[in-house]
Structures are given as C-alpha cells and as structure tokens.
A and B are shown apart, each in its own frame.
Chain A
Amino acid sequence: MTDAVPTDTARYRQRWIDRCERYGLIVVWLVVIAVFGIAQPATFLSWANFSTIFGSQAVLVVMTLGLIVPLTAGDYDLSIAGNLTLSSMTIAVLNVHAGWPILAAVTAALLIGLLIGLVNAFVVLYFRINSLIVTLGMGTFVHGITLWLSNSNTISGIDFTLTKAIIVTRLFGIPLAFYYALLVAMIIWYVFSFTAAGQRLLFVGRGRDVARLSGIRVTQVRAITFLVSGFLGSLSGVLSVGSLGGADPNSGLSYLLPAFAAAFLGATTIVPGRFNPIGSVIAVYFLVTGITGLSILGVSTFVQDLFYGGALIAAICVSQLVRGRQEMT
C-alpha cells in the first residue's frame, strides 16, 4: 500500500518509453521509406508511386477498420473477406447482367453486407457460439454464393461513374478512394475516443461481466459491431469494384490476413494496447510500403506473404507484451 513516488528521472524515462510506443511505427515507416528511397530514388520516391500506394490500399484500409470494431468488443469477423467478394459480385451481376442502375446495385450490395452482419450476430449471440468459428463458416458460405452467382468468372464492364467516383477522380493527386477510407477512419476514431458508445464497446471487450453488471446491454453492443463490420466489409467491396472496374470472385479473399496483420499492428501504436483506427491506417500503409519497396527492388511476390504473415505474428507478440506490462505494473 505504499504510494511509490516516482522520481523525476523515472518519470522522464517512462514518458520517453510511452512516446516510443506511440510513435514507433511511424518512425519505422519513415525509415523504411528512406531506405527504399536511397536504394531506388527514381522509382520509389516518385509521386506516382505514392499515389498508387495511397489509392490502391483503400480497400484494405476499410476492411481493417471493419475488423477493429468487433475486435474491440472481443469478437472476430472472419467473414469480412467473403463479404467483400459477395458485395462486389452483387454489384457486377446487378449492374452488368441485370442492368440495374449503379446506385441501386451499390445500395443492394451494402444491404447484403448488413444482412451478413445480422446473421453473424444472430448465430453468435443467440446460440452463444464463439464468433471465430461462426464467421469462419459464414465467410466460406458467402464465398460459395459468390462463385455460384458469377459462375466463377470475373465480370467486367461496370458503369464507369463508379470507377470515376472512386479511383479516376483525384484530389491532390491521390484517388478519392483514399479519402473515403480516411473518412471512415475519422468517424471510427471519433466514436472510439469521444462517445459513450466507444467507451461501452471497450468495456464489452475488456470485461464482459463488468460491462453487463454495469448495465451495458452487451448483446446489443456486440450485435451492432457485427452490423458495422458487415457494412464496412461490403463498403470495401464497393471500393474494390470501383478500383478494378469489375468484380473478381477470388482475389478479395487474399485481403483477410493483411487486414488482421494491420489491425494488430495498428494496436501497437498511437493508442498502444487498443485497436485504434489511426494506428490501423498507418499499419496498412507501413506494410504496403515495405512490400512495394521490396518488389521495386525486384524481390519475388512471395515476399508479400512473408511480410504480412510475419507482421501479424510480430504485432500480436508486441501487443501481448504491452498488455502484459500494463497488467503487471
């Protein structure tokens, strides 16, 4: 029960440790940029390269943001990649084959995303099953529907207005897709940091019983997180269709692991120990910078898997250390 009064030097040291944790990833990111910049100044440091990096990763950013909402509440949504492929395919089928106007097709895709979230929430919460296994099944199920709808074919020729609104139009040289992703990040950042809902979400994730006995409607909160991840999953599908100008039934699945890597890596920075949107955005771009740089250097494509897989494990280890330290002190 002694109130240890930390000395000034100890406090000073602690402040520096905190700062390193908070901004470490940004510093490492800048270092990575500098290293590749020195190695390949002509290609890597070009504005076109950065514009590609920022614009092309909006899909991954939105998916990562979709993941951190249920993750904060202690739930996984592994169906989010399947959700992406289904909603992009829905847009393609409705717009190209059925001739729906693009706006109606996009709305339908977003509604399907919400529906997937609703089914996830119902199965997880009504039957009290671990979300990991439910959403794993749901993801594969949804992907099955995608293959069925599309006959396993890529569909192209989607209304150009969507492509224009997402990737062709640029602001400060960067495609609009980047700003959409940033807007989503800002909204989540506001909700996480400045609303009662954000605090409640955090308590549901950290101590479900504490939350319940404090009068928080835990089931309701968890259901909403599944709806949010369902919506953002399909929104990333919309961005994907816009970026590609078509829908591919398979490529969306490869986003799942990078999104988890970015979510966990993002939880080691800005607000260390918590899933946070700004950290997630930085983590996505950090990972992509590394991969782009290496491929410019001529390293084969397997580096992508090494990088994302390694980053996920490393990030989980780091966040475990941060958390362990927080709980032990």
Chain B
Amino acid sequence: METLTPKAGIFSPAPPVRGAESALRVENLSKHFSGFQALSGVAIDIKRGEVHGLLGQNGSGKSTFIKILGGYHVPDPGASLFVGGLRAEFTPGTFRKLGIAFVHQHLGLVPSMTVLENLLVVEHAIEPRWFINWHLQEKRAISLFQRFGLEIDPSTPVKRLNPAEQALFAIVRAFDQLEHTPATAAKLLILDEPTPFLPAQDVQKLFALVRAIVAEGASVLFVSHDIDEVCEITDRITVLRDGQIAGSLITNECKKSDIVKLIVGQDVNLSARPHGLERRQEMLTVNGLNGRVLKDFSMFARKGEVVGLTGLIGSGYDDIVNLCFGAIQAHAGTLTLNGTIHDLTTMTPHKSVQAGIVLIPSERHASGIVQSLDVTDNVTLPILDRFGGGWALSRNMMRSRAKVLNESFDVRPRDPDTLMSSMSGGNQQKVVLSKWFQIQPKLVFLDEPTQGVDIGARAQVFDEIRKMASRGTVIICASSDHEQLAAICDRVLVLSHGLLVVSLEGDDISKGAISEACYINEEASMKVALT
C-alpha cells in the first residue's frame, strides 16, 4: 500500500474505522475542465460495511467525483484507485466490474415496464441470454424483495409503485447487481441524493433498507445536501468544498454546526448594492402559488429589484419561475404585475411574453436557443413583428439589428451569421439575454443564468442583469449558485420543501449567509411541513 502525501491544510486524514478493511480507496484525485479545477487532490477511503456520507454545496465537486467513479469523466493523470486494497484503473464503463452500483436521484427506472423487467434490465444489457426463464426470475425477485422486507409484486409496472417503493426498489436492484460481483470487488452502493422527493416517514424506510444492506456486507456512499439525514445514517462523513476535501469526520463525534462550517467555509463577501429600494412601490406580487412541490407560496418585488430564489434540491425554488411564466401549469395562484392580475392556472408563455414577462431558461441548449440556426435568427425571434408587421422581413435589417445587439452585449464573434453551435456557452447566454432584454421586459425570470458560462462572461451577465434592473425591470433569479445570488440580488428568498423559510435583505446577503440559511432551515421547515 502506498502512503499518501496530503496537501497541508486541505486534507485532514480520515479517522480510521477500527479493524475495517478498505472497500474502495481513492488518492490524489484531480480533475480540471478547460481552465476550471473541479477537483484537486481528493482522497477518500470507504471501509467495508460502513455508510459514508459525502456532503458539499453545488459546485463543490461532489457530482464530478461521482461521475469519475461512474466512468463519465476520466480523472487527471496521477490519481490512484484501490479496490479491496488492490490497485485498479479508472477506465470508462468498468464500474460494474469493480463492484460499484449507483442509484441516482431520478432512480433510472422505466415507469411503464414491470418491476421484474426493470430488475433484469442491467443483466440483459451485458449478458447475451437466448432464453429468459421468467418464472424462475420472478421467484428470484420475490425472494430478493423478501430479504429486505419489501412487498412488491414483480409483475406490476413500476409507475404503479408509490415514490417510496420506487426508491426502495431502485436501491434493492442496485444491491442485487453488487451481489453478482466477486468477494474481492468493492461492493459499494452509491446513493446520489436519494431523498429529496420522499416524505419524512419514507426516508426512515429508506434508512432501514440502507442498514440492512450494510449488514449484508456492502458499503454505502450516501451523497446528500441534507445534514440531518447524513448525521442519522452515516458512520463517517467527508465534506467537499471548492473541489477539495474540507474535512473528514466520524459522525457520532461531531456537532451539526461543525459540519455546516465545513460545508459553507468562512468566506464572506460583502458587495455594495443600491440602497433605498424599500421605499419604492411594489410592482409584482405572486399570491397563493401551488404546483409541483410549492405550497401556497407568495412573494412580492419592487420596481427595479433583483430578487433571488434558492434552496436545496427539491425545495421548489426553481419551480417558481417556470410556474409564474406559464412554462409549467400551476394548480392555483395569481401573478399581479403593475396592477394587472394574471391567473397562473391558465398562464402560457405566449401570454407572458405579451404581458412583457420573459424567462431565461436554465437548459440553454434545449430551451434557450436553436443551435443549428445563426445569431440573427435566434435574436430576432421576439421582434419579428417590427418588420412590416411581420409581413416584410428583411434579412439585412435583421442582420444589422443582430449586429447592434452583439455590439452592445459584447458577443464574440460579432458576425451575426455565426451559428449558435459554434459559440462558447458564455456568448450563447449573452445572445439569450440580448434576445429578451431588447424588448424592454417589465419582469424577467432567470433560471440558473450562468450555468455553463465561463468566468469572464459571468461578470458581463451580472452586469447586464443589474443594468436591466436599474431601468426599473423586476428581476427574479432562481439559482443554486449562492455566490451569484450574493453578487446580484437585493433580496434573497430561501425555500425548503416548497415553503418560504428565510428572507435575506441588504447587507445580510452573503454567500455564506445564503448557504447557511439553506442548510439550517431544512429542519425547521420539516416541522412546519408535518404539522
């Protein structure tokens, strides 16, 4: 075994679990994406039969780490991987052979197919099998479910199971895959955010299952945002922050506040923001919004105010913008803008745009721009009616319009004939902003406005957003990027389980304060939600 040379101050060696053999050990794991260091020098040792928690904010490198284990990304040279004490390679597609199984947040089940078909799909993907003995497989499935106290009929379609049963089934399915690997394999089950969509009592069932699985000799890496859950189920915890190990702890020897401190870090940045907004009139109110996970959500915003919405995954902060814009139908709720009341149950994107409300969606490639068309086509879409009422488009006038916008939003290259697909993410996003900001909207919804945007363009995007606000437009920004919210928002609303829990205003807003509010108030809202 090699001795590891930790970077001073970054890595505090994981406390040993007495007498336990290592199931999977990673050393010196780094990964950079063009100019951005996602992980640097990460080391984790997961013991046999332990539940290991992995905590960290968005952007801390958690998902990059998991994707490397899954073979989606190849780590930078110099990383080492040990399975059961033996050296192994990071090669794509080998995680099954190493004995690693994943259950992602969205479970990876095909809802319309039966439980049994879903159970066997992985085997059928890798084994040529010319005759399937369905009767035998069904018996095997039933005995597997019985072992873990699950009462699921293998012949029901997965969509008829309730969410908790689906999650439990997905976990049992992953465990079943591990059972077919040799004893020397890692036998590691990675649960990636398995709980956000589960009610509290079902989380307990999931934990019982995790304990049963560990008792059978497997190990579990439990990846989560939720500190309470991690404290309850794990033996040890590793916290990632900014791509590095912020610390490793033994769960029953640490306080929750220690963990929060490790996750959030100490950096506090106060940026100057305009004052005197409190006296301005309220321009936007949202009342009684219900839909997705949101329960009776209400908010307001003043003229020229930038309001941030955030929370953990599943808290519903990102649903608000989509529901208010009409991209998703709400069950109930109204939006009042400048005294005009819009019923959100019948809102459509068309009506929103007509009313001067626009949405900059998060999935830029799927929803923001058409890649196979050029800048001119994309950017003139909302203003086509300006060319002879839409009956006499002139390519030249459209091009010069696009050129002016490219100039004022600093889009590179400037040529309006450039295809969107050949632009960088940052420039694409500037095109999306210019597309909508040119119509002088009254209300702008932003959903993760700087996702996949490089650092340089990020500052420009912030700048454009603030400029738009200074002209009196209301801006509502949903984001899990707390640094971004701290940089642009006048007020930040934090949600948890579909409810508004904290409102930060003025100088109270900082990256740390927002993050802390997200984690601390998780518990409080659970109580509210249950009563």
Interface flags, A297-329, vs B, CB<8A=1, else 0: 000000000000000000000000001001111
Q: Which residues of B contact A326 (CB under 8 A)?
A: 372, 419, 421
Instruction: State which of B382, B391, B421 has its C-beta within 8 Å of the C-beta of A329.
Output: B421
The answer to whether B367 and A213 have CB atoms under 8 Å apart is yes
Q: How large is the interface on B (under 10, 10 to 19, 20 to 34, 35 or more residues)?
A: 35 or more
Interface flags, A202-236, vs B, CB<8A=1, else 0: 11001101101111110000000000000000000
Q: Which residues of A contact B353 (CB under 8 A)?
A: 214-215
The answer to whether A215 and B382 have CB atoms under 8 Å apart is yes
Q: Which residues of B contact A207 (CB under 8 A)?
A: 366-367, 369-371
Flag the segment in B48-56, B125-133, B232-240, B373-381 that touches A: B373-381
The answer to whether B393 and A194 have CB atoms under 8 Å apart is yes
| Docked CA distance A215–B354 (Å) | 8
Q: Which residues of B contact A206 (CB under 8 A)?
A: 370, 372-373
Chain A-chain B contacts (Cβ-Cβ < 8 Å), number: 91
The answer to whether A327 and B352 have CB atoms under 8 Å apart is no
| Docked CA distance A199–B388 (Å) | 14
Whether a CB of chain B sits under 8 angstroms from the CB of A3 is: yes
Q: Which residues of B contact A170 (CB under 8 A)?
A: none
Instruction: State which of B359, B412, B424, B426 has its C-beta within 8 Å of the C-beta of A213.
Output: B359
Q: Which residues of A contact B369 (CB under 8 A)?
A: 207, 210
The answer to whether B384 and A199 have CB atoms under 8 Å apart is yes
Q: Which residues of B contact A203 (CB under 8 A)?
A: 370, 373, 377, 381
The answer to whether A1 and B392 have CB atoms under 8 Å apart is no
Q: Which residues of B contact A215 (CB under 8 A)?
A: 349-350, 352-354, 382
Q: Which residues of B contact A202 (CB under 8 A)?
A: 373, 377
Whether a CB of chain A sits under 8 angstroms from the CB of B416 is: no
Known: A194-B392, A207-B369, A327-B421. A214 touches B381 (CB 8 A): yes
The answer to whether A214 and B382 have CB atoms under 8 Å apart is yes
| Docked CA distance A144–B254 (Å) | 77
Instruction: Report A166-216 residues with CB < 8 Å from chain B CB.
Output: 193-200, 202-203, 206-207, 209-210, 212-216
Q: Which residues of B contact A194 (CB under 8 A)?
A: 391-394
Known: A214-B381, A327-B421, A328-B421. A196 touches B393 (CB 8 A): yes
The answer to whether A329 and B419 have CB atoms under 8 Å apart is yes
Whether a CB of chain B sits under 8 angstroms from the CB of A245 is: no
How far apart are A314's CB and chain B's nearest CB, in angstroms?
21
Instruction: Report B382-412 residues with CB < 8 Å from chain A CB.
Output: 382, 384-385, 387, 390-395, 412
The answer to whether A210 and B413 have CB atoms under 8 Å apart is no
Instruction: State which of A3, A198, A209, A273 has its C-beta within 8 Å of the C-beta of B367.
Output: A209
Known: A202-B377, A214-B353, A273-B372. A195 touches B393 (CB 8 A): yes
Known: A207-B369, A323-B372. A195 touches B390 (CB 8 A): yes
| Docked CA distance A198–B380 (Å) | 13
Q: Which residues of A contact B385 (CB under 8 A)?
A: 196
The answer to whether B372 and A1 have CB atoms under 8 Å apart is no
| Docked CA distance A196–B397 (Å) | 13
Interface flags, B334-377, vs A, CB<8A=1, else 0: 00000000000000111011100001010100111111110001
Q: Which residues of A contact B413 (CB under 8 A)?
A: 3
How far apart are A278's CB and chain B's nearest CB, in angstroms?
16
The answer to whether B412 and A1 have CB atoms under 8 Å apart is yes
Instruction: State which of B352, B368, B380 has its C-beta within 8 Å of the C-beta of A210.
Output: B368
Instruction: Report B169-199 residues with CB < 8 Å from chain A CB.
Output: none
Whether a CB of chain A sits under 8 angstroms from the CB of B260 is: no
Whether a CB of chain A sits under 8 angstroms from the CB of B327 is: yes
| Docked CA distance A199–B374 (Å) | 12
Known: A199-B380, A207-B370. A213 touches B349 (CB 8 A): yes
Whether a CB of chain A sits under 8 angstroms from the CB of B12 is: no
| Docked CA distance A215–B435 (Å) | 13
The answer to whether B412 and A3 have CB atoms under 8 Å apart is yes
The answer to whether B361 and A213 have CB atoms under 8 Å apart is yes
How far apart are A22's CB and chain B's nearest CB, in angstroms?
15
Q: Which residues of A contact B382 (CB under 8 A)?
A: 214-215
Whether a CB of chain A sits under 8 angstroms from the CB of B422 is: yes
Whether a CB of chain A sits under 8 angstroms from the CB of B454 is: yes
How far apart are A212's CB and chain B's nearest CB, in angstroms?
6
The answer to whether A216 and B412 have CB atoms under 8 Å apart is no
| Docked CA distance A200–B384 (Å) | 9
Query: Which of A3, A200, A213, A216 lies at the interface centre, i.e. has the most chain B CB atoms within 10 A of its CB?
Result: A213
| Docked CA distance A196–B398 (Å) | 11
| Docked CA distance A268–B201 (Å) | 59
| Docked CA distance A80–B381 (Å) | 31
Q: Which residues of B contact A200 (CB under 8 A)?
A: 381, 384
The answer to whether A196 and B384 have CB atoms under 8 Å apart is yes
Q: Which residues of B contact A329 (CB under 8 A)?
A: 419, 421-422
How far apart are A290's CB and chain B's nearest CB, in angstroms?
30
| Docked CA distance A207–B421 (Å) | 13
| Docked CA distance A193–B354 (Å) | 24
| Docked CA distance A199–B384 (Å) | 8
Query: Which of A198, A202, A214 lies at the interface centre, i.e. has the most chain B CB atoms within 10 A of its CB?
Result: A214
How far apart are B370's CB and chain A's nearest CB, in angstroms?
4
| Docked CA distance A200–B353 (Å) | 15
Instruction: Report B112-150 residues with CB < 8 Å from chain A CB.
Output: none
Q: Which residues of A contact B367 (CB under 8 A)?
A: 207, 209-210, 213
Question: Residue on B with the closest CB to A220?
Answer: B350
How far apart are A128's CB and chain B's nearest CB, in angstroms?
15
How far apart are B478's CB and chain A's nearest CB, in angstroms?
15
The answer to whether A209 and B454 have CB atoms under 8 Å apart is no
Q: Which residues of B contact A216 (CB under 8 A)?
A: 350, 381
How far apart are B385's CB and chain A's nearest CB, in angstroms?
6
Question: Residue on B with the closest CB to A212?
Answer: B349
Instruction: State which of B371, B377, B421 has its C-beta within 8 Å of the C-beta of A199.
Output: B377
Instruction: Report A1-40 residues with CB < 8 Å from chain B CB.
Output: 1, 3
Q: Which residues of B contact A213 (CB under 8 A)?
A: 325, 327, 349, 359, 361, 367-368
A/B interface sample: 16 pairs, CB < 8 A: A193-B395, A195-B390, A196-B384, A196-B390, A200-B381, A200-B384, A206-B373, A207-B369, A213-B325, A213-B361, A215-B352, A215-B382, A326-B372, A326-B421, A327-B419, A329-B422
Given A203-B381, A209-B363, A328-B421, 16 other A-B residues pairs in contact with their CB atoms under 8 A: A195-B390, A198-B393, A199-B377, A206-B373, A207-B370, A210-B367, A212-B349, A213-B359, A213-B361, A214-B381, A215-B349, A215-B352, A216-B350, A326-B372, A326-B419, A327-B371
Which B positions have Cβ atoms within 8 angstroms of A? 325, 327, 348-350, 352-354, 359, 361, 363, 366-373, 377, 380-382, 384-385, 387, 390-395, 412-413, 419, 421-422, 424, 426, 454, 456
Across chains A and B, which 7 residue pairs bring their CB atoms closest together, nearest first? A215-B353, A196-B390, A196-B384, A207-B370, A206-B370, A209-B367, A215-B350
